[in-house]
Amino acid sequence: MDLADILTKAQIVPEMRAINRWEAIDELIDNLVSTGKIKAGDRDAVTAAVKKRETSMSTGIGFGIGIPHASTDLIFEVVGSLGRSNKGVNFDALDNQPVKLVMLFLVPQGQFQKHLHTLANIAKLLHKPEFRLSLEKAPDGEAMLSVIREFGKK
């Protein structure tokens, strides 16, 4: 499961308002509700699942990247939302640096292999400095999606 497979332009937030990881998670889950990827009535349960996972260990993996994620039985396919913060978000990252790119994704409950595969693909792509820089410089969500598609082919 590649990043381009789970994102549309509407699922990209080019300028997040969040200043910490909890607000970033809320903002990206709101995006998934507004784009119809999760039901409004499931918002609180999905948020609780992601925040429970995040409480066990921050998904701020360094290099300005956060990858909050969770499994839930409230979805039937992998869904995600990408947010960018030019100011940086306090994510309690491993390197104590602010996070500029937050990729939240959800995997259906019980699909452990798909969960690991998706996480590995996203982390591998986001670890490429030229990819991160291209995302940070992209003027809007459409350009960010083009960057994701371009680098996903490499």
- Residues catalogued as catalytic: 69
| Cα angle for residues 89, 82, 116 (degrees, 5° grid) | 100
Contact 71, 106 (CB under 8 A): yes
Distances (CA, A) of 147 to 4, 10, 102, 130, 144: 9, 15, 16, 10, 5
φ/ψ of 86, rounded to 5, equals -70, -30
CA distances from 80 to 59, 121, 149 (A): 15, 13, 15
DSSP E strands in 6-142: the ranges are 12-13, 60-62, 65-66, 69-72, 79-89, 99-108
